[in-house]
Amino acid sequence: MHHGGVTPSTTKVTELAELVAGGRVAVLSGAGLSTESGIPDYRGPTGRARRAEPMTYQRFVGSAEARQRYWARSHVGWRQIGGARPNAGHRAVAELERRGLLAGIVTQNVDGLHQAAGARRVIELHGGLDRVVCLSCRERTPRAELERRLREANPGWEATSAQINPDGDAVLTDEQVAGFRVVDCTGCGGVLKPDVVFFGENVPKPRVDECFAVVGGARALLVLGSSLAIRSGLRFVTKAAALGLPIAIVNQGPTGGDADATLTLDAPLGRTLTDLADRLGAAC
């Protein structure tokens, strides 16, 4: 454990500052960047083993009962996700972008906190929980509108949960879920789904290509708060390594990309990134 106000390795933060100072840095961020905003991680220090399997696209589409369970849990979880605010790490990334040091931001997160902090060029690899899409007519509507309709459809329904997962999925009992009413698309009556990529669903190819283009046009790759445990994020590290780009990883705990990294920092993200932005600010 690292205590007090000293970052684990001043030398490493200096090296990181030198790397980022050159500009054209692609950022890849994961759930670990949002833990300081109160959104739990899957695998990091705040991660808890799920007591429930994540919803798959196949189950969601194939079963009204699965959709009822998903939306009941997500309706409760949204209070935490929707109420979350950007932390020092998100603000530092937005500041680096404002200074013209970034080639782009690819995030595995679905919480919208990069944008809320002021970042502009953000590609949401897995979509965003703040939008809902109709699976029939493909119309996208704001999540806030759906939440209002769900409250109206479920007067008196109250449920709280001790466990919220990073995708806004609250753990509820069967009894809590049983009385919940789901609403459909106001336009065509079709099934509504959050505009995020579920397990068993592919990220749209144009979006993946756009992410690869950001990495391909970068001078370096900076990974923030991702354990890189799944191919979805790891492929961009593999690409950067194949291109011979320097790769820096700031994460709490080991990652699947450490072998390819030029520099790794096992450190709290908010403090480390604030320190980084301050150093670069002084250098400007």
Q: Say yes or no: 272 and 245 in one domain.
A: yes
Q: Say yes or no: 258 and 163 in one domain.
A: no
Q: Is 5 a member of any domain?
A: no
Q: Give the 3-state secondary structure of residue 193.
A: strand
Q: Which residue in the block uniquely carries the two structure tokens 């899957």?
A: 42
Q: Which of 4-13, 34-43, 164-173 has the highest mean pLDDT?
A: 34-43
Binding residues for Zn(2+): 134, 137, 185, 188
CA nearest to 257, candidates 275, 279, 241: 241
Q: Say yes or no: 113 and 22 in one domain.
A: yes
Does pLDDT of 47 surpass 70? Answer: no
Q: Say yes or no: 112 and 58 in one domain.
A: no
Specify the pairing of strand 220-224 against strand 127-134: unpaired
253 DSSP assignment = S
pLDDT reported for residue 280: 92
> To the nearest 5 percent, what fractions of the chain are helix, strand and coil?
40, 15, 40
CA nearest to 60, candidates 195, 151, 191, 202: 191
The residue that leads in pLDDT, 42 or 243, is: 243
Domain end residue (candidates: 151, 168, 196): 196
Binding residues for NAD(+): 30-50, 108-111, 225-227, 251-253, 269
Q: Is 157 a member of any domain?
A: yes
DSSP lists the bridge partners of residue 26 as 104, 221
CA nearest to 183, candidates 153, 157, 156: 153
User: What is the residue range of 175's domain?
Assistant: 49-83+129-196
C-alpha–C-alpha distance, residues 110 and 81, integer Å: 9
C-alpha–C-alpha distance, residues 181 and 167, integer Å: 21
Q: Say yes or no: 108 and 237 in one domain.
A: yes
Domain end residue (candidates: 146, 175, 196): 196
Q: Is 44 a member of any domain?
A: no
Segment 68-121, tens digit of pLDDT = 999 998 998 888 788 899 999 999 999 999 999 999 999 999 999 999 999 999
Q: How many domains are contained in the chain?
A: 2
Identify whether the C-beta of residue 118 lies closer than 8 Å to the C-beta of residue 166: no
Identify whether the C-beta of residue 123 lies closer than 8 Å to the C-beta of residue 236: no
All residues at 6 or more sequence positions from 146 whose CB lies less than 8 Å from its CB, including other chains = 132, 183, 192
Binding residues: 30-50, 108-111, 134, 137, 185, 188, 225-227, 251-253, 269
Domain end residue (candidates: 178, 196, 214): 196
Q: Is 4 a member of any domain?
A: no
Q: Is 3 a member of any domain?
A: no
Identify whether the C-beta of residue 253 lies closer than 8 Å to the C-beta of residue 45: yes
Rounded to the nearest 10 degrees, the angle between the axes of helix 205-216 and helix 231-242 is: 40
Nearest-Å Rg of the Cα atoms of the chain is 20
Enumerate the active-site residues: 126
pLDDT reported for residue 171: 75
Helices (H), 99-249: 113-116, 143-153, 174-178, 205-216, 231-242
Segment 251-269, tens digit of pLDDT = 999 999 999 999 999 999 9
Q: Is 2 a member of any domain?
A: no
Neighbours of 231 (CB within 10 A): 10
Domain of 18: which CATH number? Answer: 3.40.50.1220
Segment 153-184, tens digit of pLDDT = 999 887 766 566 666 677 787 888 988 999 99
